[in-house]
Every structure is written in C-alpha cells, then in structure tokens.
C-alpha cells in the first residue's frame, strides 16, 4: 500500500520539524473501492487519481516514519490560532473519575464542553464534584487545551453506531444543557441512538434488552437512562424490589441474587447484573429457600434451646401484662384465628408497638409456633436487639434490597408449617395511614395457599409514632378479620398477576377493618 501526505487539505501550510503536515492519503489493493451505489459519497473520499482520503492528519519524519496527529474533522482552531485535537482534550478530562463522558467543541473561538457526570447527582454537590474534576484535569494541560466553560447533562452524548461522538450535534446539546439548568429531563426512555457505545453494546444482550424494555414500560412516566437510579429516580424502595426481581425473572429468565441487587446503583449496573446472571442459574427462593439463605441466616430458623425458650416465655408474660395495662389493650375478632391450622397475619404497620400489641393477644401455644418478619436495621442493631429478636423469633428481613432472602425466610417458615406475621406495607407508615401493600405477601400466598387473616392495629401510631422513643399511654385496639383462603383472596383483588391480586385484596380487607373501627370511634 502507498501512503502520501496532501498539504492542500489544510487551510494553510503547516510544518513540523521542517516536514509538511497534511491529510494522509492511501492507495493500494487493500484499500476499499468505494461506497456501494453511492457515487457522490465515493467521489468525496477519493482524489481524481484514486487516492483514498483517510481524514487523518499527519506527516513523515526524516526517517520516513508516519506520524498521525488526529482527525481533521475533530480539529479545533482557537481564537489564539492554536489548533487542538478535541479527542486528546477529551481523553485528558475523561481520566477524572467524576466524568463519565465529555464532548469538546468550539464556541466563540474558545473550548467548551458538554459533560455527563459519572454519578447522576443533585444540586450544588453534583456541580461541585464536576468542577473539582475539571480543575484537576486542567492543571495537567497546557493553557490552550483547557476548556473555558462547560455544561452538565444527565443524558449520554449522541454517538454513531461505531461509538464516535456525533460532533455536529454537540452545539445543540451544549445549548440545551446550558439553558436547561436543573430542569428535569423529559419522561420516557433514552433512545438507543443517544446512548454511548458501551451502553449500546450492553443492550445487545437479549436478557438486558428485555429488562430495559420492561423498565421502560413499567416506569413510562419517568426518565429512563443507563444512569438512572432505581432507588432515587424510579422510586424503587422497600419490598418493591420483590416485584421488580420477579418481573425481571419472567422477562429475562434471570434470578438476581441479593448481592447483585445490593451492588445496583444505576440501571446500567442492573443491566450488567442481568447480563452476567444470564450466564448461570440461581435458586428460586420459593421453591428452594434453603439454597438462597446462607449459614448465618439459617441460624435464625433454628429452634430455641431450653434456657432460651424459658427466657422467651418470661418476656412474653411481661409484654402481655405491660401492653394490656399501659395501653388498655382491646381486641376484636380474636376468635378468627384458627386453632389447628397454619396461618399468616397481615397487619398494618404504623408503630414499633404493633408487633408487641399483637403478641400480647396470642396465647403461648400460638406464639411459640409463630415467626415475625423484622427489619434488619432493628434486629441487628446491637447485641441486645439480636438476642431479643432471636428469642422472639424475629427474622432479619431487609426490605430495601434483600428481596430473595426475604422471600426465602417466609417460604421456609410456611414450608415448615409454622405461622408467620408479615407486615405487607414493607415499612412503617410515616403518617399512620395505610400504605400500598408490597408484592411479597402475594408471592408467598400464591405459592403457599395457607389461611390468611387481615389485621388492623389502631392507636399505636398515637402512642409511639415513628421517630419517637418514649410512648404515651394511648389506648390500642387490634382487629382480626376473618380467616381467608388464598384462592378466594386472589379472586377479589385487582392486578394483572396472581400475586398482585392477592396483595391488592388483602390491602382492601385491612382498609375495611380500619374503616369499621373508625366508625366505632
């Protein structure tokens, strides 16, 4: 192959060490012959004597070694007359951890940039992080290669299918970012064309693509990009992870582990986990809960020894007296609890007093066969809470992330024919009002159709609202609804899937109990 330099491709003559600089031209049998059925395009990239214009700028040194200086199309001339390769400047700034992408362009004879931060932050903190990164990188560059202004955008830079920045779109993107400020981007998913080459490559995996499409449909009213935070931007909190991981399993065939979910900070992270998860299989927490729980978690399921059982019974008696005396505990519908059948209670959750009030109404024979789902933040808070939780058979459930282990705990209890108290709201209600039920209870009852009793606890929020440490002697009333069959509940509820229908119906049942007791008071 032949190579030569064409100085006429540049605006004016340039030399390096006395050698001419120009566009690199190539000719030979291994150079492509032209664009298929595009004669005008072919004419643009070939000279009259059939030399191919590579678009690269370079020169030969005294030893005839070829030096490539960069693309002519990415060359910027500043107001001082300096010629700068934007790709070199971008590479220097992209070394900073806080910068995911950067596109450099010329505006008014100066270098400016559009920046996509590494982590989509908010407000002044995000701006300060990017500013420090810019200042740090600028110190390593000569003055003429430093950017003078920049705009921050949450969306990936527009790129070609080969991953190259579409530089003709940068000015518009820069102006939009400058004018938009902190305005929220338009709702809906980012188009594939707007994504970086890395993200487009990620979506070539069929499992990742199916999850992306599922997220776009499920959260159609929100902005969806690879940098979107499931927790902060999509509002995936508490046991909502249960529903999401179930849908991911249905759409992609991938069962995400608790560890994978815990590592997920962005949608990009989630897609990476799905891609890696599609290469292997993980146990179903409902079918094989023992394979999901680790050895430490399984210790919470072991029977109490004689000393621990005696201590637990003593604490039960103390709690029974204190709750009944201090809070004038009243109960309705206690007769609905089956004596000889396994059951699940689904109470509302307005205060940390709720489980104590319910426990005070159960007899010891019922209580010793009952397990409770408890938040790890309380259960594992300190050695004392760990001991009390162990004595009370409270299982450490992490509603924010550990979807699979939460289900596995519940499945193990029901599989072993024990009773279960599960708070379907997934956390404390800040205002005491009944919140939506998370799908976990529906998944458990769909798989283990045991008797379920809706429960409403009234007065605990007034006695000890969230954030308070000292309770007030407010009267408490616990109402037990009628024992229901899981299949019956499924027919009553709304939703597309059985577990959604079960959760919806139970929510309505608890809401009806709340309405009835409200009318009495």
Query: Given pLDDT bands bounded at 50, 70 and 90, which one contains residue 281?
Result: low
What's the pLDDT at 126? 76
Stretch 310-320: mean pLDDT: 93
Stretch 464-480: mean pLDDT: 90
What's the pLDDT at 86? 86
Contact 386, 380 (CB under 8 A): yes
What's the pLDDT at 228? 85
What's the pLDDT at 324? 94
Is residue 137 pLDDT above 70, yes or no? yes
Q: Measured over all CA atoms, what is the biggest interatomic distance in the chain, rounded to whole angstroms?
A: 102
Contact 395, 409 (CB under 8 A): yes
Of 81-85, 108-112, 266-270, 283-287, the poorest mean pLDDT is in: 81-85
> Half-sphere exposure (CA, 13 Å, Cβ side) for 84?
28
What's the pLDDT at 483? 94
Nearest residue to 456 (alpha-carbon basis) of 326, 332, 324, 364: 332
Contact 345, 455 (CB under 8 A): yes
pLDDT digits (tens, 9 = 90+) for 236-255: 754 567 677 777 876 676 77
SS3 71: strand
What's the pLDDT at 101? 92
Most confident range (mean pLDDT) of 56-70, 86-100, 233-247, 250-264 is 86-100
Q: In Å, what is the CA distance from 511 to each residue of 13, 181, 223, 457, 459?
A: 82, 43, 33, 11, 15
What's the pLDDT at 169? 87
Using only C-alpha atoms, the chain has a radius of gyration, in whole angstroms, of 32
| Alpha helix stretches (DSSP H) within 281-436 | 289-292, 295-299, 306-326, 354-359, 364-367, 376-379, 383-391, 403-415
- Tokens standing for residue 339: 């004596």
* Vertex 265 angle, CA 264 and 266, to 5°: 100
- Tokens standing for residue 497: 């899937």
Most confident range (mean pLDDT) of 81-85, 284-288, 429-433 is 429-433
Of 68-77, 291-300, 506-515, the poorest mean pLDDT is in: 68-77
**Global pTM?**
0.55
2-71: CATH, from 1.20.1250.20, 3.30.1450.10, 2.120.10.30, 2.30.38.10: 2.30.38.10
The CATH architecture assigned to 289-520 reads 3-Layer(aba) Sandwich (3.40)
Task: Provide long-range contacts, Cβ within 8 A and 24+ apart, for 73-78.
Answer: 73/167, 74/167, 76/104, 76/105, 76/106, 76/111, 77/106, 78/106, 78/109, 78/110, 78/111, 78/144
Query: Given pLDDT bands bounded at 50, 70 and 90, which one contains residue 475?
Result: very high
Nearest residue to 144 (alpha-carbon basis) of 106, 116, 177, 114: 106
Structural domain spans, the chain: 2-71, 75-183, 192-277, 289-520
Name beta bridge partners: 331. Answer: 478
Is residue 183 pLDDT above 50, yes or no? no
* CB neighbour burial string for 478-517, b if at least 16 within 10 angstroms, e if fewer: bbbbebbebeebbeebeeebbbbbbbbbbbbbbbebbeeb
Nearest residue to 32 (alpha-carbon basis) of 54, 60, 10: 54
Q: Please, is 291 exposed, middle or buried when counting C-beta atoms within 10 Å of its C-beta (0-12, 13-18, 19+)?
A: exposed
DSSP string covering 154-202, please? SSPPPB-TTS-B-GGGHHHHHHHHHHHTTPPPPSEEPPGGGS-HHHHHH
What's the pLDDT at 251? 64
What's the pLDDT at 381? 52
Contact 90, 76 (CB under 8 A): no
Stretch 394-413: mean pLDDT: 74
Query: Given pLDDT bands bounded at 50, 70 and 90, which one contains residue 157?
Result: confident
Contact 254, 274 (CB under 8 A): yes
Its sign, for the CA torsion 194, 198, 204, 205, is negative
Most confident range (mean pLDDT) of 39-48, 257-266, 354-363 is 354-363
Is residue 46 pLDDT above 50, yes or no? yes
What's the pLDDT at 120? 61
Mean per-residue pLDDT over the chain, rounded: 83
- Indicate the fold that domain 192-277 takes in CATH: 1.10.1200
Nearest residue to 130 (alpha-carbon basis) of 97, 171, 155: 97
Nearest residue to 330 (alpha-carbon basis) of 477, 480, 519: 477
Task: Provide long-range contacts, Cβ within 8 A and 24+ apart, for 201-204.
Answer: 202/226, 202/268, 202/271, 202/272, 202/275, 203/271
Nearest residue to 224 (alpha-carbon basis) of 237, 212, 235: 212
Contact 411, 443 (CB under 8 A): no
Of 10-14, 83-87, 208-212, 346-350, the poorest mean pLDDT is in: 10-14
pLDDT digits (tens, 9 = 90+) for 356-389: 999 999 999 999 999 998 765 554 556 776 788 8
CATH no., domain 75-183: 3.30.300.30
What's the pLDDT at 148? 82
Cα 234 from Cα 217, distance rounded (Å)? 12
Query: Given pLDDT bands bounded at 50, 70 and 90, which one contains residue 348?
Result: very high
What's the pLDDT at 161? 65
Query: Given pLDDT bands bounded at 50, 70 and 90, which one contains residue 1?
Result: confident
Query: Given pLDDT bands bounded at 50, 70 and 90, which one contains residue 59?
Result: confident
Stretch 409-421: mean pLDDT: 93
Most confident range (mean pLDDT) of 19-28, 324-333, 458-467 is 324-333
- Tokens standing for residue 521: 């008071």
Of 48-52, 140-144, 185-189, 292-296, the poorest mean pLDDT is in: 185-189
What's the pLDDT at 412? 93
Is residue 130 pLDDT above 50, yes or no? yes
Neighbours of 180 (CB within 10 A): 14
Is residue 182 pLDDT above 50, yes or no? no
Question: Where are any strands of DSSP class E within 31-142?
Answer: 52-60, 66-71, 75-77, 83-85, 99-107, 110-117
Cα 270 from Cα 260, distance rounded (Å)? 8
With residues binned 3-state (H G I as helix, E B as strand, rest as coil), the percentages for the chain, rounded to 5, are 40, 20, 40
Count of residues in the chain: 521
- Tokens standing for residue 165: 């920045």
Stretch 300-311: mean pLDDT: 90
What's the pLDDT at 401? 44
Question: Phi then psi for 502, rounded to 5 degrees?
Answer: -65, -45
Cα 307 from Cα 305, distance rounded (Å)? 6
């Amino acid at each position: 192959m032949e190579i030569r330099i064409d100085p006429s491709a540049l605006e004016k003559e340039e030399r390096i060490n006395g050698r001419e600089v120009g566009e690199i031209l190539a000719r030979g049998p291994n150079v492509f012959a032209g664009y298929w059925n595009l004669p005008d395009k072919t004419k643009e990239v070939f000279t009259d004597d059939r030399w191919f214009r590579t678009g690269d700028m370079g020169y030969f040194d005294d030893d005839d070694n070829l030096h490539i200086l960069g693309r002519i199309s990415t060359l910027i001339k500043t107001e001082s007359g300096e010629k700068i390769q934007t790709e070199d400047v971008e590479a220097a700034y992209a070394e900073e951890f806080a910068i995911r992408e950067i596109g450099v362009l010329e505006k008014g004879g100066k270098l400016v940039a559009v920046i996509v931060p590494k982590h989509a932050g908010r407000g002044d903190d995000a701006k300060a992080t990017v500013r420090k990164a810019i200042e740090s990188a600028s110190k390593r560059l000569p003055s003429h290669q430093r950017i003078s202004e920049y705009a921050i955008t949450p969306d990936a830079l527009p790129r070609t299918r080969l991953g190259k920045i579409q530089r003709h779109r940068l000015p518009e993107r820069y102006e939009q970012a400058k004018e938009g400020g902190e305005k929220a981007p338009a709702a809906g998913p980012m188009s594939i064309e707007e994504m970086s080459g890395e993200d487009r490559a990620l979506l070539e995996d069929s499992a990742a693509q199916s999850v992306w499409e599922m997220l776009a449909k499920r959260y159609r009213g929100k902005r969806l990009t690879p940098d979107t935070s499931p927790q902060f931007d999509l509002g995936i909190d508490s046991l909502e992870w249960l529903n999401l991981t179930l849908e991911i399993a249905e759409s992609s065939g991938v069962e995400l582990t608790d560890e994978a979910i815990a590592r997920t900070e962005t949608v990009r992270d989630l897609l990476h986990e799905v891609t890696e998860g599609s290469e292997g299989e993980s146990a179903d927490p409902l079918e094989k809960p023992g394979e999901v729980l680790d050895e430490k978690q399984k210790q919470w399921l072991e029977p109490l020894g004689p000393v621990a059982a005696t201590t637990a019974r003593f604490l039960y008696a103390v709690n029974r007296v204190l709750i009944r005396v201090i809070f004038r505990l009243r109960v309705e519908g206690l007769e609905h609890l089956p004596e000889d059948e396994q059951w699940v209670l689904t109470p509302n959750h307005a205060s940390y007093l709720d489980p104590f009030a319910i426990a005070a109404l159960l007899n010891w024979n019922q209580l010793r066969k009952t397990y409770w789902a408890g938040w790890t933040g309380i259960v594992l808070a300190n050695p004392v809470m760990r001991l009390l939780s162990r004595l009370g058979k409270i299982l450490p459930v992490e509603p924010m992330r550990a979807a699979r282990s939460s289900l596995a705990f519940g499945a193990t209890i029901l599989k072993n024919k024990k009773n279960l108290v599960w708070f379907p709201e997934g956390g404390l209600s800040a205002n005491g009002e009944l919140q939506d039920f998370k799908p976990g209870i529906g998944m458990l009852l769909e798989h283990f159709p045991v008797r379920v009793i809706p429960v409403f606890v009234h007065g605990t929020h007034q006695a000890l609202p969230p954030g308070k440490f000292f309770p007030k002697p407010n009267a408490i009333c616990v109402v037990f609804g009628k024992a229901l069959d899981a299949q019956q509940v499924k027919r009553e509820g709304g939703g597309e899937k059985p577990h959604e229908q079960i959760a919806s119906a139970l929510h309505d049942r608890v809401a009806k109990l709340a309405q009835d007791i409200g009318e009495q008071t």
